[in-house]
Structure 1
């Protein structure tokens, strides 16, 4: 009976194991050397763990909803007065463990959004969950939530997130009622979720 183990592993959603199984079969056929069961079992487990970590990372990067992918590797340190060592320390995301906040203030085009996104990407690589919002879009979402009689649902979701980025806070105007909704959300997240603000210097 010819059993398609590759298909069985995929059917069980063990995609890392399925890929490693195909590779191992090809290698073992070429080498024609007996391999201890523990050796290929360890290899299958390691492959599955690596695959799941990669899938989780990709999922969190998409779930964060960054407008563009940015990282510190491509950050132009010559265009900022910030100390690189200080930024690299923030990139460890340790400040999120105590739900501390971070505010980035500067003129237009000084790299605030790039830096905020890059720090968030670094945090995701360390297992943190992040959400990115343009401040005006977030206010509109909160207003719509209120109109639908579902106020508070978004706050409940964001409390479970490690950090929320509010981009362009204070750059574009929104109604006073929207400001009240945003303030209420921030007060609900205070000391539970890290908030990262970027705003233009007036």
Structure 2
């Protein structure tokens, strides 16, 4: 009985420490999503909502002009992932850069990158909204490199994918 109580306690602590909705920007889910109004073909929306791409450790890039719903769609995917008991972290490029800078300051870069990449899905929202410099490029690279074929990374951007120079 004591062992069972320990397991219950650890599960509760793990759940309490896990990234949850509080870290997401708006709380948008598929309950408020209107698939027929999106420029993403419905068949692709349906395929992405299965989250098979996360289980296969594939990445997702959604680009479009500001206000087109790319953040809403990816946030809804992230909420769906949490509901499927997957671990999710949400960053803007600015908050990712700040996280990396804080880790540099205390010498914990490798540990921080490992912690971020311990999640099943890492979202980096709004690349291109603000100018990004070398620190942002480095932070983004570290996460993408560490997650490669191990975790899924979802990125939203208002920059068209044909513009290969995301960082100046």
Which category of TM-score, normalised to the shorter sequence, fits these structures?
Answer: 0.7 to 0.9
Number of the residue aligned with 2:116 = 158
- Of 55, 72, 81 in structure 1, the residue corresponding to residue 39 of structure 2 is 81
The match for 2:154 is 196
3-state SS of the aligned residue for 2:101? helix
Change (3 A) 1:137 1:128: same
Unaligned residue ranges in structure 1 (runs of 5+) = 1-11, 14-47
Correspondence for 1:106: 64
> Which of structures 1 and 2 has the bigger CA Rg?
1
Report the TM-score, using the length of structure 2 for normalisation: 0.79
CA distance in 1, matches of 2:28, 2:83: 13
- Aligned residue runs from structure 1 range 23-172, under 5 A: 56=15, 60-62=19-21, 65-172=23-130
Normalising by structure 1, report the TM-score.
Answer: 0.67
Return closer, same or farther for 1:88/1:60 CA change in 2, 3 Å cut-off. farther
Q: Over aligned residue pairs, what C-alpha RMSD do you find?
A: 2.7
Alpha-carbon spacing, 1:104–1:141, altered in 2? closer, same or farther (3 Å): same
User: What is the alpha-carbon distance in structure 2 between the residues aligned to residue 132 and residue 155 of structure 1?
Assistant: 14
Which structure carries more relative contact order (alpha carbon 8 Å, separation 6+)? 2
Matched position secondary structure for 2:109:
coil
Q: CA deviation at 1:79?
A: 3.0
Cα offsets for 1:147-198 (capped at 9, x unmatched):
2221112211122210000001122123213312321221111111100000
Rounded Cα–Cα distance in structure 1 between residues aligned with 2:31 and 2:79: 11
Aligned residues: 153
User: How far, CA to CA, are the matches of 2:87 and 2:133 in structure 1?
Assistant: 30
Match of 2:163 in 1: none
What is the CA-CA distance between 1:60 and the residue it aligns to?
A: 4.8
Contact 1:132 1:166 in 2 (8 A): yes
- Paired with 2:133 and 2:159, the residues of 1 have a C-alpha distance of 20
Report the Cα distance in structure 1 between the residues aligned to 2:109 and 2:59, rounded to whole angstroms.
24
